[in-house]
């Protein structure tokens, strides 16, 4: 990126979208990337992975605490320094990166986004010098865990025992979104928290994007092509589970993505939970929503009937 004669303004507002995985994050990032020039003209710079965010290893901040025995060293300045080369202007910055929340292999290995202490400390300290809003999408555990498991197969072999391992730890200690929200509120108490359900996204994308950006935005009538993040059928996932465990990195990503996209492997969706487990997880999700309302009143977005004209209406960014 070319050097500037005039230094960029100090950030006065951070809008941090931390995911979660498999909640339309990639779709959102592509839409925001396409809108970046318009949003920048309105004073909001947008930084998303396919615009080079990973090149400065911003996501390594999320795991830094595991290597650092002294959490007091969590520095908001490090976050700012890593973002600085990507900025193009504006004193309001939106970062969308689900890697800040954690890793898929942790979430399917029984550690459901439990390594956030360092990252949340950074965000909490950012909020002492600027306004900070944290955005989190959640999804019913009965659909979220299978989708996350399928995604993780792109990056590494299944855990010993396959999905049965996920089922076992789910029964012992089911993942709770409310605990994650509680961690966010405790470690970044000054930050605004906004939460929406992935199940609401399709019908209420304009409202969600407007809340994320802080102003109404045009939503494309044609969705960006994010098919490379699509989960495969039950058959495709079984084939991905059987790949050589030594296959790693880009080669594994390419192989699994090809299996998921191959129409020869189309078939029933991957639905590994039985009826009793599914019902239990749906009750758990409902309880989480109630708990989030208590922990962070007003944080969970609620919607009325969708506006059929909102998706195609171009609105001012002012």
* pLDDT tens digits for range 84-137: 888 889 999 999 988 888 777 777 777 788 777 778 888 888 888 899 999 999
Cα–Cα distance, 82 to 63 (Å, whole number): 15
Report DSSP state, residue 54.
G
Looking at every residue in the chain, the average pLDDT score rounds to 85
Query: How does pLDDT run across 34-90, given as a tens digit for each residue?
Result: 899 999 999 999 998 866 555 445 655 555 544 544 444 457 887 888 788 888 899
Structure tokens at 282: 């749906």
Question: How confident is the model at residue 224, as a pLDDT?
Answer: 66
Question: How confident is the model at residue 230, as a pLDDT?
Answer: 79
Instruction: Using the predicted structure, report yes or no on whether residue 302 has a pLDDT greater than 80.
Output: yes
Residue 36 within a domain: yes
Taking residues 221-247, report their average pLDDT: 84
Residue 23: other Cβ atoms inside 10 A: 21
Please report which confidence band the pLDDT of residue 226 belongs to, taking 50, 70 and 90 as the band edges: low
Q: Work out how many domains the chain is built from and give that number.
A: 1
Token pair 């995985």 is found at 21
Peptide bond preceding 155 in cis form (omega within 30 of 0): no
Question: How confident is the model at residue 258, as a pLDDT?
Answer: 94
- Give the structural domain span for 27: 13-155+175-228+286-312
Residue 244 within a domain: no
Question: How confident is the model at residue 316, as a pLDDT?
Answer: 36
Residue 121 within a domain: yes
Global pTM reads 0.88
Distances (CA, A) of 36 to 28, 66, 82, 218: 12, 34, 19, 12
Determine the longest span between alpha carbons in the chain, in angstroms: 63
Question: How confident is the model at residue 261, as a pLDDT?
Answer: 92
Taking residues 159-169, report their average pLDDT: 91
Question: How confident is the model at residue 80, as a pLDDT?
Answer: 85
Please report which confidence band the pLDDT of residue 177 belongs to, taking 50, 70 and 90 as the band edges: very high
Residue 309: other Cβ atoms inside 10 A: 8
Burial (Cβ within 10 Å: 0-12, 13-18, ≥19) of residue 222: exposed
Can you give the C-alpha Rg of the chain in angstroms?
20
Residue 271 within a domain: no
Distances (CA, A) of 170 to 29, 31, 108, 196, 213: 30, 34, 9, 23, 35
């Amino acid at each position: 990126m070319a050097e500037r004669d005039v230094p960029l303004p100090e950030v006065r507002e951070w809008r941090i979208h931390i995911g979660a995985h498999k909640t339309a994050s990639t779709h959102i990032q592509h839409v925001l990337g396409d809108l970046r020039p318009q949003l920048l003209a309105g004073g909001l710079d947008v930084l998303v992975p396919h615009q080079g965010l990973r090149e400065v290893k911003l996501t390594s901040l999320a795991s830094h605490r595991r290597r650092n025995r002294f959490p007091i060293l969590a520095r908001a300045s490090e976050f700012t320094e890593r973002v600085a080369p990507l900025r193009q202007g504006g004193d309001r910055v939106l970062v969308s990166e689900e890697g800040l929340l954690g890793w898929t292999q942790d979430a399917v290995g029984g550690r459901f986004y439990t390594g956030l202490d360092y990252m949340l400390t950074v965000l909490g300290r950012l909020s002492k010098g600027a306004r900070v809003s944290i955005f989190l999408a959640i999804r019913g555990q009965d659909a979220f865990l299978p989708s996350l498991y399928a995604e993780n197969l792109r990056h590494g072999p299944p855990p010993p025992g396959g999905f049965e391992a996920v089922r076992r730890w789910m029964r012992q200690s089911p993942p709770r979104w409310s605990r994650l929200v509680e961690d966010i509120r405790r470690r970044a108490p000054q930050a605004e928290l906004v939460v929406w359900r992935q199940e609401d996204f399709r019908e209420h994308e304009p409202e969600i994007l407007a809340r994320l950006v802080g102003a109404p935005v045009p939503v494309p009538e044609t969705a960006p092509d994010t098919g490379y993040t699509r989960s495969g059928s039950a058959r495709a996932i079984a084939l991905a589970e059987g790949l050589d465990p030594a296959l790693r990195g880009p080669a594994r990503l390419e192989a699994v993505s090809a299996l998921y996209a191959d129409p020869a492997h189309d078939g029933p969706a991957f639905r590994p939970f039985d009826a009793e487990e599914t019902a239990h997880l749906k009750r758990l999700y409902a309880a989480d929503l109630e708990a989030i309302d208590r922990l962070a009143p007003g944080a969970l977005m609620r919607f009325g009937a969708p506006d059929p004209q909102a998706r195609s209406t171009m609105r001012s960014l002012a």
